[in-house]
Amino acid sequence: MELMDGMGSRRGALKQLKTQREEEGMANAVLTEDEEPLSPATRLFLQPRLSCHIVAVIGSGKRVDVDVFKKGLEDTLLRHPRFTSIQARPRPHSYTSNTNPVLDERKGSSEHKWVRTNVVLENHLVIPDLDPEMESPDKFVEDYTSDLTKTTLDMSKPLWELHILNVPTAEAEATAIFRIHHSLGDGISLISLLLACTRKTAEPNSLPSMPERRKAVSRRGGFVLRFLMSLWWFLRLVWRSVVDIWLFLATGACYKDSETPIKGTEGVGSRSKRIVHCTLSLDDVKMVKTAMDSTINDVFLGATSAGLSRYLNRRQKHGQDKGVDIEKQSLPSNIRLRAAVFVNMRPTPGIHALHDMMEKNKMDIKWGNRFGYVLLPFFVGQRDDPLDYVRKAKAIADQKKLSLEAFFTYSFATVIIKAMGIKAAADLAYKVLSNTTMSFSNIVGPTEEVSFCGHPMVYLAPSVYGHPHALTVHFVSYQNKVKMVLAVDENVVPDPHQLCADLADSLMLIKDAVIARQ
C-alpha cells in the first residue's frame, strides 16, 4: 500500500475526479485516484453491532481561539491520510471479468476503500453559541458529551469532528471534544497521534516528553541455569496460552460472566453512554507500585477490582440491611467478572514518527486497526487487607504476560474473515464481548504540560461507545495526575458518579494501607 502526502497527492502525477456530490456543491467531494483497501479490523468496526466511536474530551487552560485551532488542525491532522479520506466503492476499472464479489468477501477483501478527498474544515467543526453564565457548565459539558454518543458520524465525509465548548468548568476554561470513528485506527494509535499534535507549553517548538519504557533486566548465570529457566518459561507460556485460548473459545460459545448489576443487557451497544471522570494522584499510584513491587497497571487493576467490589456491595444491599457498614457486607465468592483488553499487534509509532508523518510527509508508517484482545479476570469480593486486591491483580497480569492469547485472537479473527466472511467474524466478536462485563485500558501520557493548537491542555479524558459493554474504564496519566474515565450505560449503572467515587476511594484505601505498613 502507498500512503500519500499532506496535500493529497501521490509521488507522481494524479488526476482528480469529480463526484456527484461535488457537482451538487457539497464539501469533501474531490476524490483522487489513490485508493487503499480497508483492513479486516477496520471493516469489523463498520459492522452495525460493532460500530464504535472514540470520544476524547480535552480541557483547555484558556478560552478557545477558533482561528488558532483551525490553523493548528490544518498543520497537523489535515495532513494525515485517514483524516482526509472517505470510504468509497472502487471504480469499475479496478474489477476484472473474473472478479467474484462473494468470493472476495469470503477471502476478506473489501468492497470499499479509503479514498483521499478535499476537506473543508468548517464541515468538521461544531461551535455552539453558549451562555457563559449558565447555571451548571460542568453538567452541561457532561450532558453534551453524552448526547454525542446517541448519534453516529456522517459516512459521506472523513469520519471525525471536533466540538468546541467555550464555557468555563471547574477544571478548565473551555472544552474541546473530538469524536472519531474507530475504523480510522486503534485507540492507542489515535491518542498517540493526538499527542503528536501537541507541543510542550514551556517549549512551544518541542514535542511532549513521554515516560521511558522500563527495560527488562538480563538474567545472569551459567548455561545450564539459563537453559532451565528458558525451558521453564517456555512451558509456562505454552500452558497459559492453551488455557487462555480455550477460555476464549468457550466465551465465544457460551461461557458467560456472572449476571451482576454492571453487566450489560441486550442492546447495550446501541444505547447512549454517560462519560464521567475524576482526577487521581500519579504520585500515590507510584508509591503503591514501589511498595508492592508491581507496575502502575497492576495498581490500576487492583484499585478497579477493589472499587467494583465496593460498588457491587452497595448495589446488592441497596434497600436491605440499612445501617450496615458497607465494608462489613459480603459478596458471593464465585463471581466471574472479566474485562476485554485490546492489545495493539503492530508497534505503535512514536509521537516523533507521527509528527514527521504530518510535518515532513513521511508516509512510510504503518497505520490502521491491527489488534488482538485478552480476557482479563477481575477479583470481586471483600478483603480485610486492601493490598490483597493489588496482589491478586499483579498475579493475574503476570499470568497474562505469559500467554499468546492476543496473537491467537488476532490470527483467529483473520482466519474467520477469510473463511466465513466479515459478518461471521463480527458475530463472534460481539458474542465474546457480550459474554464479558467491561472494557479496560491504561494510556500513558506526557510528563509535562502540553498545548494543543496553542491552548494549554488541562486534562485528556478519552472513552469509546458502540460496543456491547455497559462499563468501560480508562486510565490516562498526564503530568503528575491520572484521569480516570468511565463510560456507562445509565440503564445499567444509574449512578456513575458513585461508581467513580468508589474506584477513587479504593485507591486511597490502598495507599493508606501502604503507609500504615511502612
- For the chain, helix (H) and strand (E) counts, in that order, are 14, 17
Type of residue at 183: S
The dihedrals phi and psi of 442, each to the nearest 5 degrees, come to -135, 120
Catalytic site includes residue 182? yes
Choose the catalytic residue: 124, 182, 467, 474. Answer: 182
The dihedrals phi and psi of 372, each to the nearest 5 degrees, come to -120, 180
3-class SS string, 269-313: HHCCCEEEEEEEEHHHHHHHHHHHCCCHHHHHHHHHHHHHHHHHH
Q: Residues of 448-474 as b/e, b for ≥16 C-beta within 10 angstroms? A: ebbbbbbbbbbbbbbbbbbbbbbbbbb
The dihedrals phi and psi of 450, each to the nearest 5 degrees, come to -125, 165
> Is residue 390 within 8 Å of 294, Cβ to Cβ?
yes
Q: Name the nearest CA neighbour of 408 among 182, 238, 254.
A: 238
438-443 and 338-344 as β-strands: parallel, antiparallel, unpaired?
parallel
* Half-sphere CA count of 211, side-chain side, radius 13 A: 15
Cα 55 to the chain's mean position, in Å?
9
Annotated active-site positions, please? Answer: 182
